[in-house]
Amino acid sequence: MAISLGSHATVRPVSAAQDGQNDQLVRRVHDRILQDLDVRQLEGVDDAEARSIVDSAADAILREIAPGASSVTRQAVAGAVLNEVLGFGPIQPLLDDPDVSEVMVNGPTEVFYERAGVLYASPIRFRNHEHIRRIADRIVAPLGRRLDESSPMVDARLPDGSRVNIVIPPIAVKSPSISIRKFRSDRFDFEDLIRIGTVTEQVAGFIRASVVSKVNIVISGGTGSGKTTLLNGLSAFIPRQERIVTIEDPMEIQMRQPHVVTLEARPATGESKATVTQRDLVRNALRMRPDRIIVGEVRGAEAFDMLQAMNTGHEGSVTTVHANSPRDALSRIENMVMMAGFELPPHSIREQMASAFHLIIQIARLTDGTRRITHVTEVAGMEGEVITLQDIYRFEGQRLNQEGKTEGQLMPTGIRPRFADNFSRYGVSESWLSIPREGAVR
């Protein structure tokens, strides 16, 4: 497990491209530490003591092999060695940077990171493919996962909650690849989402009213669009007295309610461990007397069981799906239901979806890297073979200004959702929101 590297996190990474001499020192000091120091003894000490042990060893070796090195050089080399021994190598400074949300390694000279929704190329370099593979092995070792030719892909959750995906040859043709999506401990609430422009106050009030009124919600969006952040935000509106069961693969939802059962799918990691799928967990959740079921993301056959749950009294349930529009979200879920293996005609599946889902919230990452809710759409029913949708709010006037920033507004369409008639039954005051009184299905 990577250890937080404290003050060394701000040291600029040492690389051959930046300073060949320092890179050679890093290699020599690292090799000596591996020879002279039993790294396994560091597993039983706290972070501060482990850092102190490695720092002292690196300093002593540097004074021996490079006595004329400046204090700046020694600090830089010691920081890089610390990253190699206790952290995730050259990418550790990026992982320690609170403003970096994702780190991607495509090859020794191809390291990228995301900050504020925008991708940047990093000057960080690995020495070679073997260096990447060694860091990949260090990442997966504490997770009990295999990474070899018979199991060349790993998708897992790190101890700090970050998501990691690793692919090695022969699947990754050119180089081992590492992608880490960092876990945010400082969860966003709707006040934060309003402040950064993801949602307006009016729409936030409408979503709050919908959650309290036990509307079944699908959050739809592309990769990195902010689906989980939005789910975390709206989950705060769930009444504290309700029993919630969350189902994820891997775990990312941060609930604040006191009565929460968290379930996480498990891949097969050895002969003694059987796979536990999200579908298994959804089925089991139905026996746990939940008031609401939250599925972090539907990806396959569990979509069928989620439909059954929403249609059999588990109102107010929420899930997310990878899709680029509300209509696309329904199409994807329909295809997932078909994966369950039941011989159901498309019309029957669509009827169940039209009955189970009430609201689709579409979120997108725009050209300038900002995340915006683009559609708040009611699932209004069926017309023939087609599920009828009507936008309650829609992002309009989207364009880039001269500074490269996205302009536009999330505007009401003038349509009042049918489920708004239930707000008063749950004690929701329409002072929370301003929605039209009349409207027709389009």
Indicate the pTM of the whole model.
0.80
Is 43 part of a structural domain of the chain?
yes
Residue 182 has pLDDT above 70, yes or no: yes
pLDDT at 269: 64
What letter does residue 183 receive in the DSSP assignment?
P
pLDDT at 404: 80
Examine the fold and report which residue of 148, 164, 183 is the final residue of a domain before the chain moves on.
Answer: 183
- 216/267 same-domain check: yes
What share of the chain in percent tops pLDDT 70? Answer: 88
Structure tokens at 316: 């107010």
Examine the fold and report which residue of 183, 210, 244 is the final residue of a domain before the chain moves on.
Answer: 183
- 4/128 same-domain check: no
Structure tokens at 158: 């790190």
| Cα 130 versus chain centre, distance | 28
CB count in 10 Å sphere of residue 44 = 8
Is 441 part of a structural domain of the chain?
no
Q: What is the mean pLDDT of the chain?
A: 85
Is 63 part of a structural domain of the chain?
yes
Residue listed under structure tokens 């720092």: 55
Residues 131-161 have pLDDT tens digits of 999 999 989 988 878 898 888 999 888 888 8
**Could you tell me how many residues make up the chain?**
442
**Quick one: CA torsion of 303, 391, 202, 187, rounded to 10 degrees?**
30
Q: Which of 73-87, 294-308, 401-415 has the lowest mean pLDDT?
A: 73-87
pLDDT at 285: 93
Is 442 part of a structural domain of the chain?
no
Residues 276-289 have pLDDT tens digits of 999 999 999 999 99
- 351/297 same-domain check: yes
Q: Which of 13-22, 213-222, 417-426 has the lowest mean pLDDT?
A: 13-22
Exposed (0-12), middle (13-18) or buried (19+): which is 147, by Cβ within 10 Å? buried
Residue 1 has pLDDT above 70, yes or no: no
When pLDDT is averaged across residues 374-388 and rounded to a whole number, the result is: 96
Residue listed under structure tokens 């490269």: 404
pLDDT at 211: 95
Is 440 part of a structural domain of the chain?
no
- 179/197 same-domain check: no
pLDDT at 385: 94
Q: What's the domain range around 26?
A: 1-87
Query: How many whole angstroms separate alpha carbon 107 and alpha carbon 209?
Result: 48
- 320/357 same-domain check: yes
What share of the chain in percent tops pLDDT 90? Answer: 56
The band of 268, judged by pLDDT with boundaries at 50, 70 and 90, is low
Structure tokens at 182: 């960092």
Query: How many whole angstroms separate alpha carbon 134 and alpha carbon 112?
Result: 19
Query: How many whole angstroms separate alpha carbon 15 and alpha carbon 333?
Result: 46
Residues 269-278 have pLDDT tens digits of 655 468 899 9
Collect contacts of 193-196 with beta carbons under 8 A, ≥24 apart. Answer: 193/229, 193/230, 193/233, 196/370, 196/371
Examine the fold and report which residue of 87, 110, 140 is the final residue of a domain before the chain moves on.
Answer: 87
Is 439 part of a structural domain of the chain?
no
Angle between helices 20-36 and 47-65 (to 10 degrees): 120
Beta-bridge mates of residue 154: 166
Q: Which helix (H) or strand (E) holds 380?
A: strand 371-383
Q: Which helix (H) or strand (E) holds 349?
A: helix 346-356
Structure tokens at 420: 């708004």
- 127/139 same-domain check: yes
The band of 41, judged by pLDDT with boundaries at 50, 70 and 90, is low
Q: How many domains does the chain have?
A: 3
For residue 164, give the 3-state DSSP assignment. strand
What CATH number corresponds to the domain at position 427? 3.40.50.300
- 92/68 same-domain check: no
Q: For residue 243, give Cα distances in angstroms to 63, 264, 294.
A: 60, 17, 11
pLDDT at 397: 81
- 328/338 same-domain check: yes
pLDDT at 2: 43
- 46/26 same-domain check: yes
Residue 303 has pLDDT above 70, yes or no: yes
Could you tell me if 77 and 58 are in contact, meaning their C-beta atoms sit under 8 angstroms apart? yes
Is 200 part of a structural domain of the chain?
yes
pLDDT at 393: 96
pLDDT at 72: 73
- 61/141 same-domain check: no
Angle at 251 between CA 245 and CA 254, to 5 degrees: 70
Residue 4 has pLDDT above 60, yes or no: no
Could you tell me if 393 and 249 are in contact, meaning their C-beta atoms sit under 8 angstroms apart? no
Residue 437 has pLDDT above 60, yes or no: no
Could you tell me if 320 and 219 are in contact, meaning their C-beta atoms sit under 8 angstroms apart? yes
Residue 439 has pLDDT above 60, yes or no: no
Higher pLDDT, 354 or 41: 354
Residue 411 has pLDDT above 90, yes or no: yes
For CA atoms 34, 107, 179, 92, give the dihedral sign. positive
- 59/92 same-domain check: no
Query: How many whole angstroms separate alpha carbon 58 and alpha carbon 85?
Result: 10
pLDDT at 369: 87
Angle between helices 302-310 and 326-338 (to 10 degrees): 110
- 415/287 same-domain check: yes
What CATH number corresponds to the domain at position 113? 3.30.450.90
